[in-house]
Structure 1
Amino acid sequence: MGKQKIILVVDDEQKILEVVRAYLEKEDYKVITALDGESALNIFKNETVHLLVLDLMLPKISGIELCNKIRARSTVPIIMLTAKSEEEDKIEGISIGADDYLTKPFSVRELVVRVGALIRRSYRNTEPLADVLVFNGGDLKVDIKKIQVIKNGNILNMTTYEFKILKALLTSPGQVLSREELVERAFGMDYDGVDRTIDTYIKNLRQKIEDNPKEPRYIITIYRMGYKFVG
């Protein structure tokens, strides 16, 4: 999975935070805790977080409101904790963007298993399949470690952001990535630009790696959905 993953656990019961932290740290996760929704939101805005364990009933900002605020800016995986067992509450948690849920009282061991499964599912494609990728008999070559792109034997002058966008596309070859997904994968959640700036980067990339930018063979536009890399 690469570098150590950071889990933000939010619950208004200190004892639960302590127990969950102990179990997750045994699995080599870094754990950050918060006792209320307001503190959790501030932490999320200022820290890199790979997964949230989020109680539904929180002071200051409710779990539902917090989930909505986070979903407005990020696709980070969320496991919702709820003391309610009614089907409507579970449906509500999933509908507002939670990826999984557990009903209190819950098994901490089960929570750890669910965290691991969701982390693996969410971050299994964080790097291209190889350090050096070659397309169409050497027409295009991308060296991930050297941060270098070669077209027809010529090293291209490429900006950091352009390379990050290309690398994000290469991470999921053949899969359509929305502008929002490209922003998050390439620049992270703290990026201040608008999604449409991705179009400018794509245009610049095509000018450099395509034989005919108006009829691209590598970076393909999927109308109203986003972009995908083929090659």
Structure 2
Amino acid sequence: MAYRILVADDEKEIRDLLRLYLEKDGYQVAEASDGGEAWALLEKGEVDMALLDIMMPRMDGYKVLKKLRETSNIPVMILSAKNQDTDKILGLDLGADDYLAKPFNPMEAVARINSNIRRFYSLGARSGELKQLVVRDLRLDTEACVVYKREEPVSLTSVEYKLLRLFMEHPGKVYTKQQVYENVWGEEYAIADNNIMVCISRLRAKLSEDSGAYIKTIRGLGYRMEK
């Protein structure tokens, strides 16, 4: 199966460059030159991952991402000339899975797309794994990649889902920031940043008004899922 990647950017040179490298890697590519076109394609549900520029006509990347997260948790990478931490945190807070600042190496972009696709679509594919994970009133269906609280579905992004799954697989176990990052993002943890804190904070808010009800911060050590 060839995954379909949406490249939404108002710069034709960037779309052409990414199309060249992505098609060489076996992907199908859909293009959008503004946010309106991007949303029209995403609304059809025929895209497996989206690359969204922030500064686009008609609708910026943040608005497209916010609308997308109301109905879908497909992987999303923000592409932006904005490289401030506040812009990155905003993108992650709205539900982005990754953030790549311009100018970028197209080979790095493809490598990170491969990583996001592999992590998201291989979930539930490991042989012999549990199909259901249950901790207190939370139930995680590893085949459908859906989480339920008291049998009501909880809308999560792919990163939030992977975070929760990691903790639910071993409730009571303390994970360091390095272990969380390497398990969820699939990359070596090199420097401390706000990604983990922002994503865990957002996940906690979706699970309970009490921030420590399910995922507890163990000062100086990391995070733990309460049994």
User: Aligned letter for 2:60?
Assistant: S
Q: 1:4–1:176: structure 2 CA closer, same or farther, 3 Å change rule? A: closer
- The 2-side partners of 1:116 and 1:104 are apart by 19
Aligned to 2:6: 8
Q: Counterparts of 1:1-231 in structure 2 under 5 Å?
A: 3-125=1-123, 129=127, 169=141, 171=143, 177-178=147-148, 180=153
Give the TM-score of the pair, scaled to structure 1. 0.57
User: Aligned letter for 1:177?
Assistant: V
- The 2-side partners of 1:61 and 1:129 are apart by 42
- The 2-side partners of 1:127 and 1:16 are apart by 33
What's the CA shift for 1:86? 1.2
Which protein shows a greater Rg? Answer: 1
Q: 1:128–1:15: structure 2 CA closer, same or farther, 3 Å change rule? A: same
What's the CA shift for 1:129? 3.7
- The 2-side partners of 1:67 and 1:26 are apart by 27
| SS of residue matched to 1:177 | strand
Aligned to 1:164: none
User: Aligned letter for 2:100?
Assistant: L
What's the CA shift for 1:93? 1.0
- The 1-side partners of 2:118 and 2:31 are apart by 22
Alignment RMSD (CA, Å): 3.3
Q: 1:89–1:170: structure 2 CA closer, same or farther, 3 Å change rule? A: closer
Aligned to 1:145: none
Give the TM-score of the pair, scaled to structure 2. 0.58
Deviations 1:95-120 (A, max 9, x none): 11110001111111100000000001
- The 2-side partners of 1:67 and 1:55 are apart by 10
- The 1-side partners of 2:46 and 2:117 are apart by 14
Q: 1:122–1:170: structure 2 CA closer, same or farther, 3 Å change rule? A: closer
Q: Which runs of 5+ in 2 are unaligned?
A: 131-139, 156-205, 208-227
- The 2-side partners of 1:31 and 1:180 are apart by 31
Q: Which runs of 5+ in 1 are unaligned?
A: 134-167, 183-223, 226-231
Q: 1:117–1:170: structure 2 CA closer, same or farther, 3 Å change rule? A: closer
What's the CA shift for 1:181? 6.9
